[in-house]
């Protein structure tokens, strides 16, 4: 069964949502039912006992690791060497899977592994920061396998997710329910109408190798990618709302971006914000404290390159993913340098024509990036 991808899933989703609605309308906690429903639906999606065992093994490994880490930090906080080891161990299943996939095998393939890893790494990092002191096994498993978000996000964070587990007032839940149903309907339209249309257009009109056909492919693929992924994210957020979880949005009008930094504040936001908070910002703090570079601008430029390179590697070890990450790293670094040093930008940045020109240039750069991401370049 494909989550948010086939009719059978939506039939299961409707049935699964009914008890959640009853619990929500009667102001009862949905947590335990949501956990049971997630286990059931994820097992249907996995389809094999081998996949179920791999998922169970992963959850057990990560929980034991994080539980031991919380106990260790309580006794010996701010141990940087231990922190590096634990963080690497948390990332190891994903690294093994990515490397083995690039080598032509599928060691430790598991549904949602990339997205679950973000949640586990976030918990390791925030435990080190002193923000997380303990987590129960049920809360941990529910966070990881919450079925609307397990396969392709959005990427929620543990403290925000756990704050939604308490019962919700009836009037508030009714608003959440209505918004959730609206998002699911909108997501269905995005994914199965618009995305399908652009995909067919790409196949029919952009399959050749001429410049014209490559340009058609570039724009059609970019629009297909947006409507397919944004549609999925809308449905995931909508289903989350029905289960009482306010999963954060993933897209906010990305094609209205005025520059490439603005684009990454609007596109796959839970991913870009994760990298901003847990990689880029921490790299910048360390570089400033350690005086690694002559000025902050150099550090920021290198930070952008590192941030986007890691994001590219997270997508996969294939050349086009790495190139995609480096491309956006260069764009972000170049934008940062231009905006900090250009008097022309500082003079005109609030002018309407300049903002409009920025949108036009940005969208072309974004679609070039999509073309690189597609692997057809």
What are the C-alpha distances in Å from 130 to residues 74, 75, 216, 278, 286?
9, 12, 50, 15, 18
Q: Does a cis peptide bond (omega within 30 degrees of 0) precede residue 154?
A: yes
In the annotation, is 315 catalytic?
Answer: yes
What are the C-alpha distances in Å from 309 to residues 89, 116, 280, 303, 312?
21, 20, 11, 10, 5
Q: Rounded distance, CA 39 to CA 48, Å?
A: 14
SS3 249: coil
Largest pairwise CA distance in the chain? 64
* Cβ pair 240, 148 in contact under 8 A: yes
Catalytic residue (one of 78, 268, 315, 320): 315
- Token look-up 């009037």 returns 171
Contacts for 152 with CB less than 8 Å, ≥ 6 apart? 3, 112, 115, 229, 232, 233, 236
- Can you read off the two tokens belonging to residue 96? 């093994």
Could you list the active site residues? 315
């Amino acid at each position: 069964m494909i989550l948010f991808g086939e009719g059978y899933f939506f039939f299961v989703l409707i049935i699964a949502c009914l008890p959640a609605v009853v619990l929500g309308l009667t102001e009862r906690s949905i947590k335990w039912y949501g956990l049971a429903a997630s286990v059931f639906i994820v097992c249907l999606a996995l389809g094999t006992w081998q996949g179920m065992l791999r998922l169970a093994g992963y959850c057990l490994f990560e929980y034991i690791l994080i539980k031991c880490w919380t106990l260790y930090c309580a006794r010996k906080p701010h141990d940087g060497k231990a922190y590096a080891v634990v963080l690497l161990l948390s990332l190891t299943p994903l690294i093994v899977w990515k490397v083995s996939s690039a080598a032509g095998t599928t060691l430790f393939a598991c549904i949602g592994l990339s997205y679950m890893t973000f949640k586990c790494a976030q918990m390791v990092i925030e435990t080190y920061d002193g923000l997380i002191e303990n987590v129960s096994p049920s809360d941990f498993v529910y966070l990881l396998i919450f079925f609307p978000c397990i396969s392709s996000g959005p990427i929620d964070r543990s403290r925000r997710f756990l704050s939604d587990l308490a019962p919700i007032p009836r009037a508030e839940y009714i608003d959440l329910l209505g918004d959730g149903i609206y998002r699911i309907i909108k997501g269905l339209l995005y994914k199965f109408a618009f995305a399908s249309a652009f995909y067919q257009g790409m196949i029919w009109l952009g399959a050749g190798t001429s410049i014209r056909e490559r340009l058609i492919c570039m724009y059609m693929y970019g629009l297909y990618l947006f409507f397919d992924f944004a549609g999925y994210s809308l449905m995931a957020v909508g289903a989350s709302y029905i289960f009482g979880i306010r999963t954060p949005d993933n897209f906010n009008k990305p094609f209205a971006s005025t520059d490439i930094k603005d684009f990454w504040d609007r596109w796959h936001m839970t991913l870009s914000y994760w990298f901003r908070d847990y990689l880029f910002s921490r790299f910048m703090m360390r570089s400033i404290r350690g005086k690694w570079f002559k000025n902050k601008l150099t550090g920021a430029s290198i930070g952008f390159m590192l941030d986007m390179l890691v994001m590219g590697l997270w997508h996969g070890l294939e050349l086009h993913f790495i190139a995609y990450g480096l491309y956006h790293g260069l764009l972000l670094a170049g934008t940062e340098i231009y905006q900090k040093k250009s008097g022309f930008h500082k003079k005109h940045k609030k002018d309407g024509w300049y903002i409009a020109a920025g949108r036009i240039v940005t969208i072309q750069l974004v679609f070039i990036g999509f073309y690189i991401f597609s692997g057809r370049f």
